[in-house]
Amino acid sequence: MNIEKSSTEMPKTPGLGETGDSGTGQRMSERGGELYGKAESAVGDAYEKTEKMVGEKYKQAMSYGGKNPGKSLLVGLAIGMGLGYLLGASTRQSQFSEFQKYFR
């Protein structure tokens, strides 16, 4: 057992190379470039698939709106009223706020 080791000496991690090994940095850089390229192509593919699917759903919604204008109008009004109620309720003061100031 070697007790005289310096306390500042860092343990070597296998696979990361040593200080004098300049090829390891090169290999890590190449590997990083490969992984970046794979990630970039995966994100690009996912974007294309999503764009295609959203475009199809948009066309379906427009077609439905053209075939059923009454239903589309009612659905739009209901959504607008619901959002208006939610937004109004979140910004409006409580109806009890007038009474609360007397009981604080």
Residue 75: predicted pLDDT: 94
- Summarised one tens digit per residue, pLDDT across range 53-86 is 999 999 999 999 999 999 999 999 999 999 988 8
- The pLDDT value recorded for residue 87 is 84
How far is Cα 20 from Cα 83, in angstroms, rounded to an integer? Answer: 65
Total count of residues recorded for the chain: 104
pLDDT tops 80 at residue 52: yes
> In the 8-state DSSP scheme, what is residue 17?
-
State which H helix or E strand residue 60 sits in.
Answer: helix 22-67
Nearest to 12 by CA among 30, 27, 29, 24: 24
Would the pTM count as exceeding 0.75? no
Q: State the pLDDT at residue 95.
A: 59
Distances (CA, A) of 47 to 9, 40, 42, 60, 83: 48, 11, 9, 20, 30
